[in-house]
Structure 1
C-alpha cells in the first residue's frame, strides 16, 4: 500500500525540496510545449527560483504549502493576495502555483493541493480565485477546466510567443443557494437575535442559511465606510 500523502505548511528548511519539484514540473510542461531542454537548464534560473520561494515563505501576503510522501516533498502550492494592484484584494485570492513532481502525476496530489486553495478562499471570505497558466500547458488547462476555472479574457506574454492566460473561479461559498420556493424567514436564535434584528430593521430578510453575525458585521462596516454608521 502506498504511504499516505500529507499536506502541510512549509518552512525555509523545505526550500531545496520545493525548488526541485518546481524545476522538474516546469521542465516537463515547457518541453511538452515545445521548448528546448537546454534552454531550461540554466543554473541562474534555479537560483532565482530558490530566492523567489524563500521570499514567498517569508511574505505575509503568501501562503505556501507542500505535499509530502515518505518525508519527501512531492507537490507544492503557493497562494495569497493578488499580484496586481488593480485587482481588489478583498474579493480575489490568487493561486500562484501548483506543481507536482512528474513521477507522481495522476495520483490526485494536485487535486488535494487545489482543495487547500479552495479552503483558503473560504476561510478568507474571498468569492473569487485567480490564476494564470501558459497556453501551451494543455495538461494544466485541462486540470483547471475540470475544476471549474474559466478564462477571464486577460493574458500576458509568455515564452515561445505563447501567452499566459488568466482564469477565474467562483469559490463554492460565494455561490448563492438556489431555492424552488421562497425560504421562510428564520426565527431569532438565542445569542444571535440582536444581529438578526439589526438586519431586519434595514429591510433585509433573514434566511436560515445566513451567518447572522458575519452579515451584520459586514453591513456595519459598509455603513461606517460610507459615513452612515
Structure 2
C-alpha cells in the first residue's frame, strides 16, 4: 500500500534510506560518508524536515508491507523544477514492484498537478537505479547530463516515449 508518510514513520524511513544507500555507495565512498554517525544524524534531520514540509506540490510517500514502511519516495520543486529527491526500497523487499508502485504514485500526483517534466539525480555507479529509471521513461538531461558523481535524468510526465539510452562506461 502506498500512502502519505507521517512523522511517526521517521525511524522506519531513515532505516530504509540507510539500507538502500549502503547497497550503492559501499565500495565507492568511505563508509563514514554514507553510514557514519554524523551522516545518520544528518539523514534523520533531513527526513524530519521533509515530513514536516508544508508546501504545494511536495510530498513524502511510504510503501507499506505488513504494517511497516519498506519504501519511501519524496519529491518537491527545486529551482522551479519538479524533482524526485528520494526513492528507496529496503533491499529485503526488492523485486516486488514496490519501487514501481512508489514511482507511479509520484507520476500520478505530478499529472494531477499539471507537471510537464521532472528531474532526478542518480549516483553514476548505481547501475541498478539507472536501469529502473530508464525502464520508467527517464532519460539523460540534454542540457545538464551530470553534476559531479551524479547523472541528471529527466522525465516527460504523461509521455510514454521510448527513453534514450543512459551513457555507458
TM-score range, shorter chain: 0.7 to 0.9
Please state which structure has a larger fraction of its residues in strand. 2
For structure 1, the 5+ residue unaligned runs are 1-5, 158-162, 176-229
For structure 2, the 5+ residue unaligned runs are 162-169
Which residue pairs with 2:74 in the alignment?
78
Is the alpha carbon distance of 1:75 and 1:16 closer, same or farther for their aligned partners in structure 2, counting shifts above 3 Å?
A: same
TM-score scaled by structure 2?
0.86
Aligned pair count reads 157
Residues 10-58 of structure 1 show CA distances to partners (whole Å, capped at 9, x for unaligned) of 1111100000000000001112x53344653311111111110011111
Residues 183-228 of structure 1 show CA distances to partners (whole Å, capped at 9, x for unaligned) of xxxxxxxxxxxxxxxxxxxxxxxxxxxxxxxxxxxxxxxxxxxxxx
CA distance in 2, matches of 1:17, 1:125: 31
Residues 69-97 of structure 1 show CA distances to partners (whole Å, capped at 9, x for unaligned) of 11111000101112xx3xxx3xx421111
The answer to whether the aligner puts 1:101 opposite 2:90 as a matched pair is yes
RMSD over aligned Cα atoms:
1.8
- Does the CA contact (< 8 Å) of 1:76 and 1:97 recur in 2? yes
The answer to whether the aligner puts 1:66 opposite 2:52 as a matched pair is no
- Does the CA contact (< 8 Å) of 2:121 and 2:151 recur in 1? yes
With CA pairs under 8 Å and 6+ residues apart, which has the higher RCO, 1 or 2?
2
SS of equivalent residue, structure 1 residue 148:
coil
**Which of 88, 92, 99 is equivalent to 1:110?**
99
TM-score scaled by structure 1?
0.64
Alignment of 1:1-229 (within 5 A): 6-31=1-26, 34-37=28-31, 40-61=34-55, 62-82=58-78, 85=79, 89=80, 92-153=81-142, 154=144, 155-157=146-148, 163-172=149-158
